[in-house]
Structure formats: C-alpha cells, structure tokens
C-alpha cells in the first residue's frame, strides 16, 4: 500500500472514460482514466491499457475502440465498467454499435470512434494510439466526471512500488 505515491500521481488531472472494444465474440467496455489527445491533424487519441484484461485482447483482435466521456452525474459508471468482464457490463445501458461493433454510449457526454494505429509497451500497461474518424458531442452542457472524484475506486494505492 503506497498512499503517498497514489496521492502524488493523483495530482495529474484525468477524466474518466468508458472505453468500448469488440471482437467476434462481442462488445465490452472498461473504465479508463489514462486517456489523452496526441494529435490535431489527423486527430488522434491514446489510452493506456492493462494487457492482462479481456478488453486488451478484444482491442487487439478488433482493431477499433471508442472513447465514451463519463458524465459527472453518472459517477456509478466508473465502478460499473471497472467490474471484471465476466458480467455483462452493458446490460441496462443504452448503446449503439460503432465500427467493428464497439459500444457508443447514448448517455456519454461525448464519444469518439478510433481505429487502432499503433501500440507501445509502457511498464505494466500498453499505450494504444488510435486515429479518430468519428465523434459526437451528445451533451455540450454536461460536465465530464473527473478521476479525482473517484477516490481510490481503482485501488491504485496498492499498485505502486514502495519508492522510485
């Protein structure tokens, strides 16, 4: 447990996103905070994903991902999509299938559709970069959820090493 390190790294601002993926066996979505824009032209987004999770295998097989911006008034989505993949996380959620079958959530502040363009190993995660080819701002007036508002929901204090 390293609360000090977790507090230090939580000073970096992140939003909260439901990342949609899909393969031949169907769609899935997972909560991610490590998402960033990496280019204007062409527009590109990157995310950092744990390669042991089901969503990673689906992302590599499907080649597409969606970035759904979680609204501040839906904080429960952060926990819902962080559940292990053995449950149907999309049950009861309104969504449509984008390119490759990735879920686009109707109640997201905004969503982006991306084609996987490359990956980079980064410690215990993999950075996946995607070319954005479609996007929609569903609710311009709604605030996005902040990672800092999720507290220790991701259990990150237990994941840092004891020191640098």
Ligand X SMILES: Cc1cc2nc3c(=O)[nH]c(=O)nc-3n(C[C@H](O)[C@H](O)[C@H](O)COP(=O)(O)O)c2cc1C
What residues line the site for ligand X (CB under 6 A)?
A: 16, 28, 30-34, 48-50, 53-55, 78, 82, 84-85, 125, 147, 150, 153-154
* Sequence-ordered list of residues with C-beta below 8 angstroms from that of 14, at least 6 positions apart, any chain: 33, 34, 35, 146, 147, 148
The DSSP output letter for 70 is P
Closest approach, Cβ 41 to ligand X, in A, equals 25
Closest approach, Cβ 17 to ligand X, in A, equals 8
The answer to whether the beta carbons of residues 30 and 83 sit under 8 Å apart is no
**Which is closer to ligand X, CB of 28 or CB of 66?**
28
**Which is closer to ligand X, CB of 68 or CB of 150?**
150
**Which is closer to ligand X, CB of 72 or CB of 82?**
82
Count of Cβ atoms closer than 10 Å to residue 37 Cβ: 12
Report how far Cα 125 is from the mean position of its chain's Cα atoms.
13
């Amino acid at each position: 447990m390293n609360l000090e390190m977790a507090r230090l790294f939580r000073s970096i601002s992140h939003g909260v996103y439901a990342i949609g993926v899909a393969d031949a066996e169907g769609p899935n979505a997972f909560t991610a905070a490590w998402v960033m824009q990496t280019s204007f032209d062409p527009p590109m987004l990157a995310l950092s994903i744990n390669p042991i999770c089901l969503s990673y295998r689906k992302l590599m097989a499907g080649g597409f991902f969606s970035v759904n911006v979680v609204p501040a008034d839906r904080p429960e989505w952060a926990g819902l999509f962080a559940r292990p993949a053995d449950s149907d996380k999309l049950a009861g959620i309104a969504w449509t299938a984008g390119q490759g079958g990735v879920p686009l959530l109707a109640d997201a502040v905004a969503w982006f559709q991306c084609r996987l363009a490359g990956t980079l190993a980064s410690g215990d995660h993999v950075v996946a970069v995607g070319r954005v080819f479609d996007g929609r701002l569903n609710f311009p007036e709604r605030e996005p959820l902040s990672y800092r508002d999720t507290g220790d929901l991701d259990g990150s204090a237990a994941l840092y090493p004891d020191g640098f």
